[in-house]
Amino acid sequence: MLKRKKENGPVAASCQIRSGSSHPFGNLRGYVPLGGGEERIYRQIREALPVLDAAVGKLVRLSGGFDVKCSSAEGTRKLREFLKTVNCGRGQIGIDSFLSAYIDSLLVYGRAVGEMVVAGGHLKAVCWGDVTQLQIREKNAGLDVELCGTDETGEIRPLPYQNLLVFTTMKPEPEHPYGVSMFRGMPFMAEILLKIYQTIGVNWERAGNVRYSVICKNDENMDSLTAQERGNQIAAEWARAMEDGKNGMVRDFVAVGDVEIKVIGSESPILDSQIPVRQIMEQLIAKTGLPPFLLGFSWSTTERMCAQQADLLTSELWALRRTVEPALEKICRTYLALEGLSPEVEILWDDISLQDITEEAKANLYQAQAQEALSNAGKGGK
């Protein structure tokens, strides 16, 4: 039997050191949430979409500051001075800078970590850290957590002074204690939005830089040499007219024969992206809990709806405050204990806005008026 010779077809070549993807934020493509390791995704989302970066900044600023109250006047005075002048690293002074970075990390990564620096028996500094470089180990049947980091040999070991660390998670899940980021659920929608923006940029680069098609019809049955010569003349005249237009000069284009000039690509209109972009932005902004008007979107402009959204935002901010309050209490108690004072302390948060104070005053006024009316009605009945 004659064996048919095996034919070796051409093998497709592939480059090993270059990626074919041109997406500026490639990590968003094909993202599947696995409960960990998505910190890089969240950083890219925040960098790619300025509206989300602005949302995190507004939530941090709207969370406001706080005051403290101790069991003794001396403790209150010393603790206030400490919180006002404490060194937080990176050139930052005051507990407000620590709180801002702490809440920022909590919103973006779902967890935040800080460290209290003790020297000479006194609390000298309170610094925030990169929580993405740490791992968490549960202890005591999940009642406590132990922070672990990489040592000099590259092994993961528990950090030596666990009592000087402050750690907070936001909405931790039963599967793991790492917390849930505000950006969870956003990568899919963010990828679609970035595709739309990238396509808009490409289309405007194509359509914004107008290219012309100059067609000269040969109705005089000229030979090929004469037609080529006339085409070169028309091309030269068109090039000079375009060059003078760039320099601000008006130059007419004169040609002999049937000449047709068209804009390349003018028959293909750019798709309207307003509706799909708004639908995606509504999903993303709803995840942040901020009213759209705080981010510059006038989707709902009625006064009653804005007031309701402001009330919902107030509840979101108070929930965020309750989440970070234990960490602040631990810092204050550590300072008071090292100073030999009573560790009892109370965190007094600032009012979120002047509008809340006004609404509370109106409610108290209406309640007092109602009680007075009921009291007068009761006296009149007697």
* pLDDT over 90 percentage in the chain: 30
Location of structure tokens 């009921």 = 374
The two three-digit tokens of residue 262, written as one number: 């068209």
Q: Between the ranges 215-219, 277-281, 368-372, where is the mean pLDDT highest?
A: 277-281
The chain-wide mean pLDDT, for the chain, equals: 79
Q: Characterize the bridge pairing of strands 122-128 and 111-119.
A: antiparallel
pTM of the predicted model as reported, rounded to 2 decimal places: 0.71
Location of structure tokens 């028309």 = 234
Among the ranges given (112-121, 149-158, 252-261), the one the predictor scored with the smallest mean pLDDT: 252-261
DSSP string covering 296-315? T--S---HHHHHHHHHHHHH
Is-contact 230 220, C-beta < 8 A?
no
Among the ranges given (25-34, 178-187, 296-305), the one the predictor scored with the smallest mean pLDDT: 25-34
Cα–Cα distance list, 271 to 3, 85, 86, 211, 275 (Å) = 58, 56, 55, 20, 11
Helix, strand, or coil here: 35?
Answer: coil
Q: How confident is the model at residue 5 (pLDDT cuts 50, 70, 90)?
A: very low
139-165: average pLDDT: 83
Q: Given a cut of 60, is residue 119 above it in pLDDT?
A: yes
87-104: average pLDDT: 92
* pLDDT over 70 percentage in the chain: 74
What residue ranges do the domains of the chain occupy?
19-183+302-356, 213-263
Q: Given a cut of 80, is residue 302 above it in pLDDT?
A: no
pLDDT of res. 305: 59
d(CA 26, CA 48): 11
Q: Where are the beta strands (DSSP E) in the chain?
A: 66-70, 87-89, 92-93, 111-119, 122-128, 135-139, 144-150, 156-158, 165-169, 212-217, 258-263, 345-349
104-110: average pLDDT: 93
pLDDT of res. 17: 43
